[in-house]
Amino acid sequence: MLGQFIKPMRIGMLALATALAATAASAADGVTDTTVLLGMSAPLSGPAGTYGRQLKEGIEACFQKVNAAGGVHGRQLKLLAVDDGYEVDNTVANAKRLIESDKAFALMSFYGTSATAAVLPILSATGVPLVGTISGAEGLRQPVHPQTFHLRASYGDETAAIVKNLITVGVKRVAVFYQDDGFGLAGLKGVKDALAAHKLEPVAVASVPRNSTDVAAAVAVMAKADAQAVVMVTLSRPTVEFIRQLHRAKANPFFVALSPVGTDQLVAELGPDEARGIQVAQVIPYPWGDKLEIVREYKRAIAAYSPNAPLSYYSLEGYLNAKLMIAALERTGPQPSRKGLVAALRNGPFDFGGYRVHYTTGSNSGSSYVEISVIGQNGRIMN
C-alpha cells in the first residue's frame, strides 16, 4: 500500500523537479515572463568612449520604441551595457560576467577586433550568440564562428572600395597608417590585397600602438614617403594627431580613413578646416539623410527617446544592431532559446527599410554595404 503511494509521489516529485529545472534554465538564459536581458561590452570611457556611448544610445532608442509598443512577444527588452575601456582583458571579463553572473540571453555590439576575437572561445563554450560585432576583420569571419553574426561589411569590402576610388582618380602611390592591433592589421592586409589586385603595393607603412597617440615615428616615415594618399586604419585620436603632425612636417597627401575612425568624431576633434577633404569609408547609411526609411525611423526614435543624443554613424549602427536582434527574437516565437535565435538569424533575409542583412551558407557576414563620404566645408559630412 505504501509502495503504491511512493511511486506516484516519486513521479510527481520528478515532474516538479523537471519543471523547476526548466524554469531555472529559462531564468539563467536571461528570459522571464516579462523581460529579455541582452548584454553589451564596449568602450564607454577613455579615448574610444564616444563610440561605445553612441552605439548604446542607438540600441536603447530602438529598444524603447519597441517596448513602448508592447515589446517582443509581450516581453520588454533590457540592455546591460558594461564598459571595457577598449581593453581586451576587460572585454573578456565583461563577457564572462554577462553570461555567468548577469545571465544575459545573448550578447550584442561588442566593440573591436582583438576584443571580439578574445571572447570567441567563451561563446563556443557556452553557446551564447553574439549579434552585430563592431569589426570588419576577415579573421572574425573565416572560418565561420557559429555563434557570431556580423552586421557591418568587412574591412576587405571597405579597403577594396577605397583603393578602387583612388585608382579611378589616378592615385597610385598609396601609404598605410595603421593601429598596431587586430583591427589595424586586418585593415592593412585589406589595403595590401586591394592594391595587389592592381599590381601595386604600399609605398610606405607605419603604425601607432593601440590606445595611443604616439605617432611621431609614423609621421617621420610618411614625411619621406612622397605618398599621394594615406589610408588610415586608426581611431579618431591617433588619426587627428597624425594628420596635424604630418601637416606640420609640410606633407599634404590625400587622406582616407576606414569607418571605425568615426567621421563626426574626426571632425569634432580635428576641426572643420583641417578635416576638410578627408574621405571616410562608411558601412552604415548616411544618418542625417531622408532617402531611406530606416534612417527616417532612426531619426524619429532618437528624437522621441534620446533627444539629447547626436545623430551619428555609430548610433545608427547600434540602432540597426537592435533592429536585427528584435527581428530575430520575433522569429523565434514566444518561447525563445539561443538555438532558436541562431536559427532565426540564419533564416533571413532581413530588410530594414533600405538596409538589407542576409547570412548566406558558409558566411556570417550580413552585409557588404560600403559608401565613401567626404568631409566638406564647415565640417559638413557629405555622401
What confidence score (pLDDT) does residue 341 get?
96
Q: Assess if residue 62 is contained within a domain.
A: yes
Distance (Å, rounded) from C-alpha 258 to C-alpha 238?
13
272 and 161, same domain (yes or no): yes
What confidence score (pLDDT) does residue 375 get?
96
Contact 267, 379 (CB under 8 A): yes
Per-residue pLDDT of the chain (383 residues; tens, 9 = 90+): 434 433 443 444 344 333 333 333 344 489 999 999 999 999 999 989 999 999 999 999 999 999 999 999 999 999 999 999 999 999 999 999 999 999 999 999 999 999 999 999 999 999 999 999 999 999 999 999 999 999 999 999 999 999 999 999 999 999 999 999 999 999 999 999 999 999 999 999 999 999 899 999 999 999 999 999 999 999 999 999 999 999 999 999 999 999 999 999 999 999 999 999 999 999 999 999 999 999 999 999 999 999 999 999 999 999 999 999 999 999 999 999 999 999 999 998 999 999 999 999 899 999 999 999 999 999 999 98
345 and 249, same domain (yes or no): no
148 and 295, same domain (yes or no): yes
235 and 189, same domain (yes or no): yes
116 and 179, same domain (yes or no): no
148 and 292, same domain (yes or no): yes
Q: Assess if residue 362 is contained within a domain.
A: yes
Q: Assess if residue 127 is contained within a domain.
A: yes
Q: Assess if residue 120 is contained within a domain.
A: yes
Q: Assess if residue 383 is contained within a domain.
A: no
What confidence score (pLDDT) does residue 22 get?
38
Q: Assess if residue 380 is contained within a domain.
A: no
Query: What is the tally of structural domains in the chain?
Result: 2
200 and 93, same domain (yes or no): no
CATH code assigned at 168: 3.40.50.2300
What confidence score (pLDDT) does residue 47 get?
86
81 and 97, same domain (yes or no): yes
Contact 249, 270 (CB under 8 A): no
221 and 308, same domain (yes or no): no
Which of 232, 262, 282 corresponds to the end of one domain? 282
Q: Assess if residue 317 is contained within a domain.
A: yes
Q: Assess if residue 69 is contained within a domain.
A: yes
244 and 192, same domain (yes or no): yes
- Residue span of the structural domain in which 93 resides: 35-152+288-367
130 and 164, same domain (yes or no): no
Which of 236, 256, 282 corresponds to the end of one domain? 282
185 and 256, same domain (yes or no): yes
